[in-house]
Amino acid sequence: MADGNLAEVKIFRFDPSVDKEPRYEVYQVPYQGLTVVDVCSYILREQDPTLSFRFGCDGAGGERCGACPILVNGTPALGCKRPAEKEMVLEPHPKFEVLKDLAIDFSQETKERRKIKPKVVITVDPERCTGCRDCMLICPVGVWEVQKKGGKATAFPVDIESCCGLTCKQCAMFCRYGAISITEKSGGK
Amino acid sequence: MAQGEVLKTDVLIVGGGIAGIRAAIECHKNGVDVTLMTKGAFGKDGAAVWMAGWGYQVALYPPDSIEQHVKDAIIGGKFLNNQELVHEFLSLAPETVKELDKWGMRLAKKEGKYVQIRMPGHSYPRSLQHAKLGELLGGEYRKALPRQVRRRKEIRVLEDSTVVDLLKVNNTVVGAVALDMRDGELKVIEAKTTILATGGFMGCFEFTTANPTLVGDGHGLAYRAGARMVDMEFIQFMPTTSVWPLSVRRDLFPYSLLNILHGYFYNKNGERFMERYYPKERDFATREAQGRAIFREVREGRGSPHGGAYLSFKHLPNNLLDEVLKALKDNPFILGLKQDGIDLKEDGIEVAPAAHYIQGGCWINKRCETSLDGLYAIGEIGSGGKDGADRLAGNSLPFCMAMGIVAGREASARARKSGAAKVSKAQIKEVTTQALAPLKRSDGVRAQAVKQTIRKLMSTYMVFERTGNELKTALKEIEKLRAEALSNLWVKNKTKRLNMDWLDAVEAGNMVDVAEMAMRAALMREESRGLHERADFPEKDPKWLKHIVMESKEGKMALSTEPVAFPYLKPEEG
């Protein structure tokens, strides 16, 4: 077990061009006051230069570019906005094929998806939603679809399992009709 | 692209931000073969796609006019602007708004007219607004622009690729060697024309409002290829960016809060230090003054734990703050504070100046041509001195769009006229050998250490109150890095795919070039003007109303000056 100031981080490692099977590696790293992306950068710099992951804006300007979806302890999150924890398992976001380790290929969706239990509740106010597709275009992981039901186009969160929850919240932020709300299920993190 | 294969294209665009995307669309319109290269995932990476928040300035309705907009930009730029460029690009701004609207940007309109607000330095309300009032426009670009590229299937997008060096024959750029992170191979691209749209080098600072991967790759490439660079000493900082708590790190929102509520600044001793620097204006001094004071407090050891100052609103009545917090209940900044247990009514937010925008880049003409044939530069790196000594809020985006149009058109026309690019085998070998060298070493200096040193030096000596002596000290450090570290860079990771260690080595080389250019220019300009502030030369000096231009000559950085022309506004009129 790591000492009090270090976290124990278990990371999914897989290079499809070389490895037959994925494996997990454990790192002991500082975590207090760091995000998940910070922790990955630390590992790359100080401990294991072979680690690959994605990052982009790092939360710059208060917006989200959506480059860093990672599965943290089984829950999808944007790594730049997710505080690191004392015990963490980091895995690639399950919706997309792995390029290497935690880095995913946004242009390739996985065929067989690992089941995860959604920790968020997304509601759409059908009165307010106009089916304008803004949420669909802004979502980094393709949670949304606009469907025509009863003659009116409305947005539906068809892939709630992929949602990065409160670390992202771009759909709710950019819905100019205020039709979307995202909350986290109580008890979940 | 498989290994060893050479990609032939008409126009190679390096960088997938707003300028790069707009140029790609223009090239596509012109029917040439176009390749758009981005360092990370397309649409999520790039120069400005997401960080552009508040302003898109465009003169649309009388009494406002393009002429007035140009004049404002020149006055804001302290007359150092390349006025011809300002006029050329701002004239195209109204056209770009129509496009953005057509492409699905949600812009606020009222009675058939765009809603515009006035921002500091502008004579009229000019800044377009998000249809959802108070929302930033950043996400709108992210939503609308990448989609326009995806729709045009003929545009070839190379993701996860970084140019390591440009290829040249005599004075003509004929392509590039790029590192394709996806398979860890160096690829040769033969391009009839090349457009640099790599953004600024805010990532050369420890704390920035921009993507930290923007480290000035294009600046390094262009300089090494022999292009003339200009205005490298002018760097804009966002003085009150939040450093803490974690969930709102790098957020610009404290600046808006400050405008709404007028907070007080405290250092770690609980002292309202603004009084000491600005006894009259105190906490309400200008943005730059606030940034300068915070910077000095931190430097002299009176900063907050995360290197900033405390911004507090505790002096305001609780019920007033309740009202404000209620109105902002969905704001991500306010939500983040709540998540981290910060109560605005009690606690301070830690804020510090963050690198925000780079005024310096390639010397260009109004066709966006650099001093090298076949090489164009747009957006932040396409400086040409257009921003002068300071940039007006919200002017960079119309510049990006307009320059994308111009460079796309010009580069396509040139590509259509030229025969196939001929690259030199010898140069390819030289560039590849050099790029592979750090990978072949089994010991040496890690690139991350070089990057950290550069960021430390830039954040200490290239912010406010620069001095000649300090800059000389910093330059000695840079020279040491160049001599001892760059020639001995060691990529410890020998695996191929997504080798981030190798990418760091490529970036480190560019960062050393960038830091040296910025520091040499800052040392040469012995005056204070706009964003460039010398503690040892605190006054504006009329004899420095000229650009500092630099280029690589026989492996040395040669500095010279270039006069400013005043076709639209002469200094005495302003």
Answer whether A65 sits within 8 Å of B249, measured CB to CB. no
- pLDDT score of B257: 85
Answer whether A173 sits within 8 Å of B135, measured CB to CB. yes
Please give the backbone phi and psi of residue B568, each rounded to the nearest 5 degrees, phi first: -110, -35
Q: Over range B455-466, report the average pLDDT.
A: 95
- pLDDT score of A62: 73
Identify the DSSP state of B461: H
Q: Which of A63-67, B76-80, B423-427 has the lowest mean pLDDT?
A: A63-67
Give the whole-angstrom CA distance, residue B2 versus residue B4: 6
Answer whether A99 sits within 8 Å of B495, measured CB to CB. no
- pLDDT score of B441: 96
- Is the pLDDT reported for residue B8 higher than 80? yes
- pLDDT score of B195: 98
- pLDDT score of A173: 83
- Is the pLDDT reported for residue B287 higher than 90? no
Give the whole-angstrom CA distance, residue B42 versus residue B157: 8
Q: Over range B277-286, report the average pLDDT.
A: 88
- pLDDT score of A64: 84
B560-574: pLDDT as tens digits: 999 999 999 998 754
Task: Give residue B540's identity as a one-letter amino acid code.
Answer: K
Compute the Cα dihedral for B518, B522, B524, B525 and give only its sign. positive
CB crowding B326-348: b at 16 or more within 10 Å, else e? eebeebbbbbbbebeebebeebb
Interface of B with A in 277-306 (CB under 8 A): 306
Q: What percent of chain B has pLDDT over 70?
A: 97
Q: What angle do CA A167, A168, A169 make, to 5 degrees?
A: 115
- SS3 (DSSP) at B160: coil
Give the whole-angstrom CA distance, residue B530 versus residue B105: 33
- Is the pLDDT reported for residue B13 higher than 90? yes
* Chain B: closest CA distance from residue A188 (Å): 14
- Whether omega for the bond prior to residue B571 falls within 30 degrees of 0, making it cis, is no
* Chain B: closest CA distance from residue A146 (Å): 16
A5-38: pLDDT as tens digits: 899 999 999 999 999 999 999 999 999 999 999 9
More confident residue, B415 or B284: B415
Among A33, A54, A60, the residue with its CB nearest the CB of B40 is A54
Give the whole-angstrom CA distance, residue B310 versus residue B282: 15
Structure tokens at B412: 């396509």
Interface size, chain A vs chain B, as Cβ–Cβ contacts under 8 Å? 147
A76-132: pLDDT as tens digits: 999 999 999 999 999 999 999 999 999 999 999 998 877 888 889 999 999 999 998
What's the distance, Cα to Cα, between the start and end of chain A in Å? 23
Residue B180 sits at the chain A interface (C-beta within 8 Å): no
- pLDDT score of A188: 43
Answer whether A59 sits within 8 Å of B249, measured CB to CB. yes
Residues of B with Cβ-Cβ distance to A31 under 8 angstroms: none
SS (H, E, C) B306-351: CCCEEEECCCCCHHHHHHHHHHCCCCHHHHHHHHCCCCCCCCCEEE
pLDDT band at A65; cut points 50, 70, 90: confident
Structure tokens at B508: 């480190």
Answer whether B50 sits within 8 Å of A56, measured CB to CB. yes
Interface of B with A in 122-151 (CB under 8 A): 130-132, 135-136, 138-140, 142-144, 147
Q: Over range B169-195, report the average pLDDT.
A: 96
- pLDDT score of B314: 94
Q: Over range B275-301, report the average pLDDT.
A: 90
Among A34, A53, A99, the residue with its CB nearest the CB of B497 is A99
Give the whole-angstrom CA distance, residue B90 versus residue B76: 15
Give the whole-angstrom CA distance, residue A107 versus residue B276: 55
Cα Rg of chain B, angstroms: 23
Cβ burial of B187 (10 Å; 0-12, 13-18, 19+) is buried
Residue B250 sits at the chain A interface (C-beta within 8 Å): yes
Structure tokens at B221: 């490439």
Name residues whose C-beta falls within 8 Å of residue B544's C-beta, 6 or more positions apart in sequence: B525, B526, B527, B529
Q: What percent of chain B has pLDDT over 90?
A: 78
- SS3 (DSSP) at B293: helix
pLDDT band at A189; cut points 50, 70, 90: very low
Q: What angle do CA B393, B395, B400 make, to 5 degrees?
A: 140
More confident residue, B330 or B95: B95
Answer whether B250 sits within 8 Å of A174, measured CB to CB. no
Give the whole-angstrom CA distance, residue B318 versus residue A15: 55
Residue A44 sits at the chain B interface (C-beta within 8 Å): yes
Compute the Cα dihedral for B266, B268, B271, B277 and give only its sign. negative
Select from B229, B214, B238, B302 the least CA-distant residue to B265: B302
Q: Between the CA of residue B245 and those of A10, A33, B239, B306, what are the distances in Å?
A: 26, 8, 17, 9
- Average pLDDT over all residues of chain A: 90
Among B51, B497, B498, the residue with its CB nearest the CB of A60 is B51
- Average pLDDT over all residues of chain B: 92
Identify the DSSP state of B485: I
Predicted ipTM beyond 0.95: no
Select from B502, B489, B492 the least CA-distant residue to B453: B489
- pLDDT score of B403: 97
B247-269: pLDDT as tens digits: 889 888 888 888 778 899 999 99
- pLDDT score of B2: 53
Give the whole-angstrom CA distance, residue A124 versus residue A182: 9
Among A55, A62, A178, the residue with its CB nearest the CB of B333 is A62
* Chain A: closest CA distance from residue B107 (Å): 11
Interface of A with B in 113-172 (CB under 8 A): 134, 137-138, 140, 166, 169-170, 172
Interface of B with A in 400-459 (CB under 8 A): 446, 448
- B330, closest residue in chain A (CA to CA): A173
- SS3 (DSSP) at A32: coil
Name residues whose C-beta falls within 8 Å of residue B4's C-beta, 6 or more positions apart in sequence: none
**Predicted structure pTM score:** 0.94
Tokens 């003007």 belong to residue: B529
Answer whether A61 sits within 8 Å of B50, measured CB to CB. yes
> Checking DSSP bridges between strand B156-158 and strand B349-358, what pairing results, if any?
unpaired
Answer whether B500 sits within 8 Å of A106, measured CB to CB. no
* Chain A: closest CA distance from residue B44 (Å): 5
Answer whether A61 sits within 8 Å of B53, measured CB to CB. yes
pLDDT band at B49; cut points 50, 70, 90: low
pLDDT band at B278; cut points 50, 70, 90: very high
Q: Report yes or no: B376 and B364 within 8 Å, Cβ to Cβ.
A: yes
Answer whether B142 sits within 8 Å of A58, measured CB to CB. no
- pLDDT score of B340: 87
Give the whole-angstrom CA distance, residue B211 versus residue B22: 20
Neighbours of B21 (CB within 10 A): 32
Residues of A with Cβ-Cβ distance to B156 under 8 angstroms: none
Answer whether B500 sits within 8 Å of A53, measured CB to CB. yes
- Is the pLDDT reported for residue B478 higher than 80? yes
Identify the DSSP state of A43: I
Answer whether A176 sits within 8 Å of B135, measured CB to CB. yes
Among B44, B51, B160, the residue with its CB nearest the CB of A61 is B51
Among A57, A83, A107, the residue with its CB nearest the CB of B50 is A57
Interface of B with A in 485-514 (CB under 8 A): 491-493, 495-501
A151-185: pLDDT as tens digits: 889 999 999 999 999 899 889 888 888 899 998 88
- Centroid of chain to Cα B491: 27
